[in-house]
């Protein structure tokens, strides 16, 4: 074996490295490892979420010596464990509840009617959902092993620009020496302090939603953003009495106004109790008893669970950023340039910890492009993520898809050159349902100038989440309204509305 390795090292060092790592893996325990496998690494990534794993694997694909450090006992970060993945599974459950209510209208007389209550086995479903997530954790770990990324479980602290200290749960400490550091520690949900709102700790956050073993009969969700809207929608569809407390008149206030209006009205129509212009001042009760929510206008709401969905903040405490001069903004996000550089030449930050476009695909894309540029071949020397025209969806009821500028943003930037095309309709699926249960769809196209370049698409209604991916490509490529008009419609679909707008 030694002779074989010697030949490889002379002829092809990257392949030799990968061979040696594979041998090391064969004769060692599966990750996480308990000590460094190398005197010095090319790349050490702090954080085992989507961004960290993606960037580590990409760097390793170029034959680099890579280590990844994750503080918790599970890989995958927010998305896999307490975010996108389990959230979408819960959305599917809620969606099935809505389909069951519609089944009688489609000729299944023994199915649940639109008014009858559904029994949802929350605890059993939670066990199945958790098992699915655990399987994904294992896949993440296997992927690191297959790509020869050294996985360390412990809490990282930056000692200097090339040295990372790892503290394991058993108290043992060791250091990793590296050329480049990637910080991908993500973020976590924000809960008000007890000083600001007495009793605030009686509530849970979005992480706590996935820890619920039983379905609450009554819930108050505080917040108007996409997390609040999604979780309130799940609760409501599954039969929980749902209260949504918002500070203004509409949900999703950073989204296009047409989306705000359509979703707010439909959520109220479907039974969500939206408390507008409401601020929470105090929580009382708990410990197995109902929780009383006190609001600024003197009213109270009694529920079994309060869920705070008022935002997120970056995980930057205790990283040792002060040791190397890495700066954060007032929200705690690490300040980076367009290349994800922190200003310290060897240290980069990307994903939610950098505070921009907090979406898993964005974090993955930024991490991979960084690894391409720093470790890849010459054609990637300028690789970076463009944060313009990022498509995203909201798994509300109904779903939302959006890309580009909102109407107010477009008018501020382009003034009178803006033109709006808009269609409001009911998807064909709902034609068999009673009028009161026909979910709205609204498709909006924002174009600019004589050529009518598309600068924004905002859609809500059945299938909008799947529709948006393809139209996101079109906007990214600089599509004009004429390009959409020249595309033959697929009939009968909701998506055809976007290529037939007048």
Which residues are catalytic, by number? 491
Q: Is 375 exposed, middle or buried (0-12, 13-18, 19+ CB in 10 A)?
A: buried
Residue 491 neighbours by CB distance under 10 Å: 9
Residue 44 and residue 180 in contact, taking contact as beta carbons nearer than 8 Å: yes
Residues 108-125: b if buried by 16+ CB within 10 A, e if exposed: eeeebeeeeeeebebeee
- Partner residues linked to 445 by β-bridges: 421, 457
The 8-class DSSP code of residue 335 comes to P
Q: Is 196 exposed, middle or buried (0-12, 13-18, 19+ CB in 10 A)?
A: exposed
Nearest to 438 by CA among 424, 452, 454: 424
**φ/ψ (deg, to 5) at 245:** -105, 115
Close Cβ partners of 298 (under 8 Å, ≥ 6 residues apart): none
Q: Is the peptide bond before 265 cis (omega within 30 degrees of 0)?
A: no
Sign of CA dihedral 429, 430, 433, 439: positive
Residue bearing tokens 């325990």: 29
CA distance 86 to 452: 40
- What tokens appear for 228 in the block? 């609040």
CA distance 45 to 182: 5
- Partner residues linked to 43 by β-bridges: 66, 180
């Amino acid at each position: 074996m030694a002779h074989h390795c010697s030949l490889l090292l002379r002829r092809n060092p990257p392949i030799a490295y990968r061979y040696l790592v594979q041998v090391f893996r064969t004769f060692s325990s599966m990750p996480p490892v308990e000590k460094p496998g190398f005197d010095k690494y090319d790349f050490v990534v702090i954080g085992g979420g989507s961004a960290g794993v993606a960037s580590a694997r990409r760097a390793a694909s170029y034959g680099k010596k890579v280590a990844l450090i994750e503080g918790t006992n599970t890989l995958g970060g927010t998305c896999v464990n307490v975010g996108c993945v389990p959230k979408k599974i819960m959305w599917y459950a809620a969606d099935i509840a809505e389909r069951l209510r519609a089944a009688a209208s489609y000729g299944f007389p023994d199915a649940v009617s639109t008014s009858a209550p559904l029994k949802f086995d929350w605890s059993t479903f939670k066990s199945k959902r958790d098992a699915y997530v655990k399987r994904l954790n294992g896949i993440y770990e296997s992927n690191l092993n297959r790509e020869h990324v050294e996985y360390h479980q412990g809490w990282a602290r930056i000692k200097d620009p090339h040295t990372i200290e790892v503290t394991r749960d058993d108290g043992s400490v060791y250091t990793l020496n590296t050329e480049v550091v990637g910080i991908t520690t993500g973020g976590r949900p924000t809960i008000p302090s007890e000083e600001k709102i007495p009793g605030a700790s009686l509530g849970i956050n979005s992480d706590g939603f996935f820890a619920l073993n039983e379905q609450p009969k009554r819930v108050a969700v505080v917040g108007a953003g996409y997390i609040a809207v999604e979780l309130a929608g799940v609760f409501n569809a599954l039969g929980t009495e749902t209260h949504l407390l918002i500070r203004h008149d509409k949900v999703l206030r950073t989204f296009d106004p047409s989306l705000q209006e359509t979703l707010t009205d439909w959520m109220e129509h479907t039974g969500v109790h939206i408390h507008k212009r409401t601020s929470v001042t105090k929580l009382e009760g708990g410990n197995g008893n109902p929780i009383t929510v006190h609001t600024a206008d003197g009213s109270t709401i009694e529920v079994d669970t309060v869920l705070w969905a008022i935002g997120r903040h970056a995980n930057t405490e205790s990283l040792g950023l002060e040791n190397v001069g890495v700066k954060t903004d007032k929200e705690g996000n690490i300040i980076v340039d367009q290349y994800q550089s922190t200003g310290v030449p060897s240290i980069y930050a990307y994903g939610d910890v950098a505070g921009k476009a907090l979406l898993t695909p964005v974090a993955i894309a930024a991490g991979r492009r960084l690894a391409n540029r720093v470790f890849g071949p010459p054609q990637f020397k300028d690789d970076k993520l463009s944060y313009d025209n990022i498509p995203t969806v909201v798994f509300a009821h109904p779903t939302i898809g959006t890309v580009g500028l909102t109407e107010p943003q477009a008018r501020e930037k382009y003034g009178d050159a803006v033109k709006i095309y808009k269609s409001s309709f009911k998807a064909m699926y709902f034609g068999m349902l009673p009028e009161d249960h026909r979910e709205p769809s609204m498709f909006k196209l924002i174009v600019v100038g004589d050529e009518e370049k598309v600068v924004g698409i905002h859609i809500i209604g059945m299938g909008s989440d799947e529709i948006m991916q393809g139209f996101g490509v079109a906007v990214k490529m600089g599509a004009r309204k004429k390009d959409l008009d020249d595309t033959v419609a697929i009939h009968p679909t909701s998506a055809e509305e976007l290529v037939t707008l007048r």
